[in-house]
Amino acid sequence: MAHPVDWFFWTVYPYLMLGSFFFGTIIRFVFYPGTITAKSSELLEKKRLMIGSIHFHIGIILVFFGHVMGVLIPKSWTDALGISNELYHMFALIGGGVGGLLALVGIFILTWRRFSDIRVHLTSSMSDLIVDVALLVIIILGMWASFVAGPRNPDFNYRTSLAIWARQLFYFRPNYLLMVGVPLTYKIHVVCGLAIFGFFPYTRLVHALALPWQYIYRRYLVYRRRPTI
């Protein structure tokens, strides 16, 4: 039997977090554009920053698009193309495993750097510390769900429950009952993932949306060699 808590988390909570993401992002870009920055600490420590940042960014991009494809592509489409459920999951685990491992290694290095390097730690805000830990936790949960919770629940197929519920969010008719039977690890992963979206505009993560469009149309900068006498 469904509980009111289930109704809240799978009907109300997603829109609270997504609403915070969209409206918070608009407000920050319109009223506080000067605060949108990655606030690099490269001058304080560079080696671990470069290694961790490259691994994390490549991995999180792969993970993001993997999640988008996993949620937006219905099972009926892959069935129509003759792609079996086993083959789909095999490719999903390989792709997700590579992306997840890269992201996990990257965020672990970045989190370790932020807490172990005294200069980086002292110049970090509380938001920076929370974001790093939160990302580390959610990536671990995602890997655990894919490679531990999934095999332990062979009868569970997220494409016939969780993915359908996620698509229903886009047309404002989520059936929260689809999430009742989802394994707990997946539920925690979804709750934490939505929380990341909810707090996204109020952290340094928002710099990911600040694409440097001005570089496309700005005038060229001409550098001239200083003449020697």
How many domains does the chain contain in total? 1
Output the domain CATH number for residue 148: 1.20.950.20
Eight-class DSSP state of 203: S
> Is 57 annotated for ligand binding?
yes
Does residue 11 sit within a domain? yes
- Owner of token pair 């909810």: 198
Does residue 68 sit within a domain? yes
Does residue 224 sit within a domain? no
The 10s digit of each residue's pLDDT in 196-225 is 999 999 998 888 887 666 656 667 666 667
Q: How many CA atoms lie within 13 A of 125 on its CB side?
A: 9
Does residue 225 sit within a domain? no
> Is 207 annotated for ligand binding?
yes
- pTM of the full predicted structure? 0.84
Lowest average pLDDT, out of 10-14, 39-43, 103-107, 130-134, goes to 39-43
Q: DSSP string covering 18-71, please?
A: HHHHHHHHHHHHHH-GGG------TTT--HHHHHHHHHHHHHHHHHHHHHHHHH
The 10s digit of each residue's pLDDT in 151-209 is 888 888 888 899 999 999 999 999 999 999 899 999 999 999 999 999 999 998 888 88
On the 0-12 / 13-18 / 19+ scale of CB atoms within 10 A, 98 is: middle
Is pLDDT at 123 greater than 80 in this prediction?
yes
Does residue 118 sit within a domain? yes
Does residue 192 sit within a domain? yes
State the average pLDDT for the chain.
Answer: 88
What's the CA gap between 29 and 40, in Å, rounded? 20
Comparing 21 with 210, which gets the higher pLDDT? 21
Distances (CA, A) of 55 to 15, 87, 105: 31, 27, 7
Does residue 77 sit within a domain? yes
pLDDT at 138: 95
Does residue 229 sit within a domain? no
pLDDT at 2: 58
List the domain range (segments joined by +) for residue 72. 4-217
